[in-house]
Amino acid sequence: MKKIINNPENVVNEMLEGIVKAHPQYVKRLEGLNVLVRANSPVKGKVALVSGGGSGHEPSHGGFVGEGMLDGAVAGEVFTSPTPDQIFEAIKAVDGGEGVLLVIKNYTGDVMNFQMAGELAEAEGIKVADVIINDDVAVENSTYTTGRRGIAGTVLVHKIAGAAAEKGMDLEEVKRIAEKVIANVRTMGMSLTPCTVPAVGKPGFQLGEDEMEVGLGIHGEPGTHREKVKTAAEITKDLLDKIFEDIELVEKDEVAVLVNGLGGTPLMELYIANNEVDKILKEKGIKTYKTIVGNYMTSLEMAGFSVSILKLDEELKELLDYKADTPAFKQL
């Protein structure tokens, strides 16, 4: 294992310290906890958003704490759900009196722990709602989930629901907006290499030099199948074909596209993949309203990428365009 770390047991703590020192204008850390909140938390008079999950997906989720997105992010150990007590402390720290929306990826531990924390907060008089993201079209059930996994589409939920909260919508409306995004976003990914959890010290699975895994999860869970490495055009077509099977898109529909790197993929390759996405959408007469390319929901050093397609209407377009200013996402 080659990693730029000190002690594998301290990677999350040291990472969070490094984030705060790099971005003190955006985030602060709750003392003794693996929780980042907005530097100006709590923000009075607005619904707060809290998300999180296992570490190893950076910049998710701490990189999206800031104006127009999240109010708090809770970091578990690498690929491990955060504990209910840490989530509970995050909820209390960001509540500005208008309630808190929990944005949860559909992994069994995350769902259980976030909802448990929500119940604890409600017992203290805090209004709490939650949404569960399940954008992955690859597999219905996986190592970590009942139903579909939540992956890179989560970032679009953070962006759009965060905008709704920033604009002053109430908790019920922010939840409605988040659920609307979830209903209209689909993601499919692939990998060229495995990744290594620092505490384990060896790759989570093996791939031959000429092999790729299609439809894997962001923790290295198995995908739909393995096959020989193809061209960017062929890979992208396969991913989009699976998405098109799952969501109805017709000529003149407008979409947002997220081409997301898994941590070890050069931007050159992500832009090549995006070029192929654009060609396919144009052939179908589908208009790309906004494109986002980069590393947003990673899997440590895994090489590979995912494509997320979000079907838009006027309401979602307005919120997608709304100002956001966070360490990992800026839209001014």
Which residues are catalytically annotated? 57, 219
CA distances from 85 to 27, 66, 316 (A): 20, 22, 33
CA angle (221, 197, 207) in 5-degree steps: 50
- Cα 83 to Cα 77: distance, rounded to the nearest angstrom: 10
Tell me whether residue 318 is exposed, middle or buried, using C-beta atoms within 10 angstroms of its C-beta: 0 to 12, 13 to 18, 19 or more.
Answer: middle
Are 154 and 103 within 8 A, CB to CB? yes
Q: Would you state the torsion angle of the CA atoms of residues 66, 68, 71, 72, taken in this order, to the nearest 10 degrees?
A: -70
Tell me whether residue 179 is exposed, middle or buried, using C-beta atoms within 10 angstroms of its C-beta: 0 to 12, 13 to 18, 19 or more.
Answer: middle
Are 221 and 144 within 8 A, CB to CB? yes
For residue 318, give every residue at least 6 positions away whose Cβ sits within 8 Å of its Cβ, in sequence order, or none: none
- Cα 327 to Cα 332: distance, rounded to the nearest angstrom: 13
- Cα 186 to Cα 132: distance, rounded to the nearest angstrom: 14
From first CA to last CA, the distance across the chain in angstroms is: 40
CA distances from 308 to 26, 124, 274, 293 (A): 27, 37, 11, 10
274, 207, 266: which is closest to 239 by C-alpha? 274
